[in-house]
Structure 1
Amino acid sequence: MYTQAFKEAVAYCKANNLFVGYGNPNGKVLVIGKEAAHIGKEETTENLEKKKKELFQSNVSQWEHILSTNEVPNYDGQHPFSHKNPLYAYLNQYNSWDKSKKGGTSRTYLSYEKLYEQLFLQGEKLEEINFQKEFFITEFSDYPTKESYKNEDIEALRKQSIEERKPLFAMPFFKEFPIVIVAAGDYPRRYQIDLEQTFNVKWEEKPIEIGNKNWYNLHFSKDNKRILIHTRQLSNGVSNKLITAIANEAKKFLK
């Protein structure tokens, strides 16, 4: 059910105190964001360290349990709003950012859901989000704070986390996906993340502008079986044109 490459990635994360991710490790799409914004600006570095440890330990232990039982995921049933089981993290939240509507979801997850619906459902909008069925989600940094938090101590922790995670992304598991979406804006440039070397792809060297800060870059594997699309963070200000353009590029790599 789960590939040896994924098992090795989980073992590496356990040995190195790293967060693994959420969603379906056997899905078709890998999404890598900046970091998960679990903690607000007012929190201290001590609280960040504590939260990071809690998230890592919970995530890795859950994946170890899933691997030990060879749990077969069922994405068509109802699941509680919880991130404890990473297979179903935040699944079935209402497909709206309006939290008053049955517990709506984040704007980032709305973008992921739109991509999922265009890639796999011919654009049909679901009442509840279900992108986890085909998406595996992880982050360049596993410090759970908002990127906009301009604090020197937090920035040092972020840099350290990104450096620690670079060898993880070079592992074979992250090359098993035919579609990789790096939704991290300027992080590759700012933190010297070599997308070409890490994911064994080649950049076309011509950014595609969709307008109003919406853009993407295309990268392809040598055998042309994998695509990596580097774009902005898929949160506020994302245009539907950008989502459609990314989906149209990615569709070509679905078998």
Structure 2
Amino acid sequence: MYKKYFKELVNSAVESSNSFYSNNLKNEPNPFYVGFGNPNSNILIFGKEQGYDVNEHNNEILLYESINNPYEWKNYIDNNILPNKNKFYDTKLNYVNAFRPYMVKMGGGGHTYNKYHTLISNILDNIQIDKNENKFFDHVFISEVNHKPSKLSQINSLSNYYRIEFLKNDYYNSFNVIICACGNYLNDNQVYEIFNLKLINDYSKPNERFKVYSDGKRVLINTRQLSMNIKNDYLKRISLVAKEYLK
């Protein structure tokens, strides 16, 4: 089930995490956090960062969603566990597992997950994606550019060496469609250095960042953070470009 590149990524993340936490505090966010969703998808979305306070729930969220993320994936790979809806941890928290971290929508219509659902539904318009249980995770893999969670973005650009080097992994570069919904966290040179893709078009409008990078086979679309007052027309414009690279 699991692709070679994904297995290699997870093994690298576990090894790097072991080294990182042998030299750093055990409650530090993990720069080798892998992500959530369907690792065999052809669509990859990078958000800005996970949107929670690292001190919430006595650091349990940080442990489940960041620190232990590579180890959870390692468990699934080693035991050939398929996507499921079983809780990975025995906890009262809403976190389910790395395949589908949350089964219910979080927040109102402006929540990022709602926007991701609309975007994926527009890209894969030949598939009916139920809004219940965050089923869009079956069709996409999601990670974050900045590995440090925050309710309010704390950085203006990505400079963490560990994270930058990790994002260069062959797995992340194997996707047909990459959507970096992270505003200006990455500049043109970083996109080229990390993903080996060059800027070919800039369709940006006021408050609607829309930069397109490609090598002719793969595409990376750099957008603003997809939450709150995002217009459906903006998501449709993004999906039209993405769809060209899934044919």
Scaled to the shorter chain, the TM-score interval is 0.7 to 0.9
Q: Confirm or deny: 8 A CA contact 1:179 1:228 kept in the other structure.
A: yes
Q: Indicate the SS of the match to 1:32.
A: strand
Q: Given the alignment of the two structures, is residue 58 of structure 1 paired with residue 38 of structure 2, yes or no?
A: no
What's the offset of the Cα at 1:68?
A: 0.9
Distance 1:173 1:82 in 2: 28
Q: Output the TM-score relative to the length of structure 2.
A: 0.79
Q: How far is 1:112 from its partner? A: 0.6
1:24 to 20, 38, 54: 38
| Aligned-partner Cα distance in 1 for 2:182–2:192 | 15
Secondary structure of residue in 1 paired with 2:186:
helix
How does 1:112-127 map onto structure 2 within 5 Å? 112-122=116-126, 126-127=130-131
Structure 2 counterpart of 1:2, which letter?
Y
Aligned-residue Cα RMSD (Å) equals 3.0
Q: Which residue of 1 aligns with 2:217?
A: 225
Identity across aligned pairs (percent)? 26
1:134-187 deviations in whole A, cap 9, x for unaligned? 1111111221112445xxxxx59x966x32111111111011110000010011
1:4 corresponds to 2:4: yes
Using a 3 Å threshold, how does the CA distance of structure 1 residues 116 and 159 change in structure 2: closer, same or farther? closer
Give the match's secondary structure for 1:138: strand
C-alpha separation in 2, matches of 1:217 and 1:135: 20
Counting matched residue pairs gives: 226
Q: Distance in 2 between matches of 1:236 and 1:219?
A: 25
| Alignment-derived partner of residue 146 in structure 1 | 151
Q: Is the 1:24–1:133 contact (alpha carbons within 8 Å) kept by the matching residues of 2?
A: yes
The amino acid that maps onto 1:85 is N
TM-fit CA distance, 1:233: 0.7
- Distance in 1 between the 2:52 and 2:197 partners? 31
Partner of 2:22: none
Shift of 1:79: 6.2
Q: What does residue 198 of structure 2 align with?
A: 202
Q: Deviations over 1:52-84 (max 9, x none)?
A: 45543321221011101222225xxx6678434
Instruction: Using structure 1 for the length normalisation, give the TM-score.
Output: 0.77
Equivalent residue number for residue 111 of structure 2: 107
